[in-house]
Amino acid sequence: MLVALLLLGGDGRADEAPTAEVIFENGSIVTVDPEFSIASAMAVAEGRVLRVGSADEMEAVQGPETKVVDLQGRTVLPGLIDSHTHPTGASMHEFDHHIDEMETIDDVLSYIRDRAELLGDGKWVVVRQVFITRLKEQRYPTKDELDRVAPRNPVLFATGPDASLNTLALELSGIDEDFEPEGPGKVERDPATGKPTGILRNLTRYVKTESTGRTPSREEEDERLTTLFRDYNSVGITSIIDRNAASSAVEQYERLHESDALTVRIGISHAVGSAGTLEEIEATIRKVADEAVRTEDSMLRTVGIKMFLDGGMLTGSAYMREPWGLSEIYSIDDPDYQGVLFIPPERLAPMVRAAVDSGLQFTAHSVGDGAVHALLDAYEAVNRDLLIAPTRPCLTHSNFMSREAIDQAARLGVVVDIQPAWLYLDTRTLVSQFGYDRLRYFQPLQSLFQAGVTVGGGSDHMQKIGSFRSINPYNPFLGMWIATTRQAKGFEGSLHPEEALTREQAIQFYTINNAKLLFLEDEIGSIEPGKRADFIILDRNLLTCTDEELLHAQVLETYLQGAQVYTHSEESP
């Protein structure tokens, strides 16, 4: 219960004002309110922001038991929000063994050789999400190379739905010169013999791998996940969206919530497959709506569903409006190849309609501009007789856009979920493949802001714990640095700097905008009276520090609903 102080009003009557539990003063509090105002003090009570303003304005809510914290000029921001994570899988990635960073083909082959020796003959060696665009050589390891380091082990080097396999893996999976897949996908073949080269396009579903790791207990899974969440807190993250949550993940989140073990708020974008009849898919979507999770404390919230519309830009399978072009990097030999579109328009629109009808946000993995336009056209079709804006339909990834796509998204009320790490890690390869000019609307953040599109920043964190070492890195200050500089690893200069965000916009990108993607902008995303007290204290001012200082910003304390969930120490990473 809030304790009340009696104050004498101007008419002589006694007015009640709640008493603050804690007052933070002498700081630079970046509120991210509609005016982006900066305050010097704020008061917190019962997990919510009570008052924001000057130290003098806090006197009215200060009681004898109120704790007063001197910020010593430090900067306070709303708790940061990551719009795109995969925490359950990421937390378990190194469960049974450490995996070093792989930057070259030799690194990959050394890892595979060591794993084969450790596991013994016949055991599967699997490497996932080491993207060829990020390797020095910018190519897949060949079948012969994989055979050389692991001749008696089946090997899968997978980058999402695409992969490179060695001879034994192909044999065990039944992929030979006579193999013909059903549905989208391609087996790369030697033009002289017709035999598979080992490269598969969108066909890892046919690879018959077997698990070689130790099966974790439920307790171990929970411990790994809460360890990850604490690491999120260490870089200022207080809320996330799981952008492909399985039912098992939702159950785990609910279990942790019931035991008061969650230190981040979680938005659930429930995974829904696109295979099967439309009736079956529509029924699955309705079931997600019927079983939607929405806790009173806003710690867990089902926001919608997630599907996969196209492939990836790192695997050469994103669906583009124009052909990819011939490529040694991606092993593309068809001049007309545009990538892979998983859901045809006549099926996509009914899926969108089912989500909107059910009050769910629809989103789909849409990397290429062809996929982005296909999804926007589906939204347009449904919007003709069913208003979609209230459900905040989303474009996920949306790396390749166009001026027309930006305007269409703005007009329809479509929100966008973008991950700057792709720009930082992959611009070098993309410019080599497409040329600088074709990337004019690659992650066009400033254009989206100017058009009034709500665009939120995420990481697409898939593997490992550690904000810089993870795949992808989830350090939000790295994300802000990328969004404001457009600089990339191994690339000279900036990628279309006209699309860079200001510092203020970059902060909005990871706070209030993502709160809107979570449908929680009335609860979190800014420091305003009545909102939940999710905030962080930093060691520097993000509005005035240099670019280099922004990149290395350090969180000193993180608060979730008024409770401290992280404090920096000399031993902190």
Least confident of 246-250, 384-388, 462-466, 527-531: 462-466
Whole-number pLDDT of residue 21: 98
Reply yes or no on whether the pLDDT at 121 is more than 50: yes
Q: How confident is the model at residue 13 (pLDDT cuts 50, 70, 90)?
A: very low
Rounded distance between C-alpha atoms, residue 305 and residue 312, angstroms: 19
CA distance 32 to 543: 12
Helices of type H across 358-420: 369-383, 403-412
Dihedral angle of Cα 442, 448, 449, 454, to the nearest 10 degrees? -120
Confidence of residue 16 (pLDDT cuts 50, 70, 90): low
- Tell me: pLDDT of 329 over 90: no
Q: Which of 29-43, 272-286, 466-480, 559-573 has the lowest mean pLDDT?
A: 559-573
Q: How many CA atoms within 13 Å lie on the side-chain side of 376?
A: 24
* pLDDT above 90: residue 235: yes
Higher pLDDT, residue 333 or 504: 504
Q: What is the H or E stretch that residue 233 is in? A: helix 218-234
Q: What is the pLDDT of residues 560-570, one digit of tens each?
A: 999 999 999 86
476 and 457 Cβ atoms separated by less than 8 Å: yes
Residue 110 is predicted with a pLDDT of: 96
Residues in the chain: 573
Bridge partners of 67? 22
Q: pLDDT for 33-77, tens place per residue? A: 999 999 999 999 999 999 999 999 999 999 999 999 999 999 999
Q: Name, of 99-108, 207-216, 283-292, the range with top average pLDDT.
A: 283-292
Task: Using pLDDT thresholds of 50, 70 and 90, give the confidence band for residue 437.
Answer: very high
Task: Report the distance separating Cα 422 and Cα 419, nearest Å.
Answer: 6
Report which of residues 560 and 314 the model is more confident about. Answer: 560
pLDDT band at 333 (very low <50, low <70, confident <90, very high): confident
- Fill in the amino acid letter for 169: A
**What's the pLDDT band for 424 if we cut at 50, 70, 90?**
very high
* pLDDT tens figures, 67-80: 999 999 999 999 99
Q: What is the mean pLDDT of the chain?
A: 94
Kindly tell me if the per-residue pLDDT of 331 is higher than 80. Answer: no
Per-residue pLDDT, averaged over 376-404, amounts to 98
Its sign, for the CA torsion 14, 16, 22, 24, is negative
**pLDDT beyond 60 at 4:** no
Q: How much of the chain exceeds pLDDT 70, in percent?
A: 96
Question: Does position 9 have pLDDT exceeding 60, yes or no?
Answer: no
Q: Which pLDDT value is given to residue 520?
A: 98
- Name the pLDDT band for 162 (thresholds 50, 70, 90): confident
Q: CA 453: distance to chain centroid? A: 18
pLDDT at 11 over 90: no
Q: How far apart are CA 568 and CA 573, in angstroms?
A: 9
Average pLDDT over residues 251-278: 97
d(CA 557, CA 62): 22
Tokens representing residue 474 in the block: 């989830």
Q: What is the pLDDT of residue 547?
A: 97
Cross-strand partners of 28: 75
Helix H or strand E encompassing 29: strand 28-30
Residue 461 has pLDDT above 70, yes or no: yes
Q: State which H helix or E strand residue 225 sits in.
A: helix 218-234
Q: For position 7, what pLDDT does the model report? A: 38
Check whether 418 has a pLDDT greater than 70.
yes
Q: Give pLDDT, residue 99.
A: 86
Q: Alpha-carbon distance 77 to 84, whole Å?
A: 20
pLDDT at 152 over 70: yes
Q: How far apart are CA 84 and CA 514, in angstroms?
A: 10
CB 573 within 8 A of CB 552: no
Range from 49-53, 212-216, 262-266, 529-533 carrying the lowest mean pLDDT? 212-216
Residue 571 pLDDT:
59
The predicted model gives 534-549 an average pLDDT of 98
441: DSSP letter:
T
The arithmetic mean of pLDDT across residues 157-175, rounded, is: 92
Please tell me the predicted confidence (pLDDT) of residue 445.
Answer: 98
Element (H, E) at 76: strand 75-78
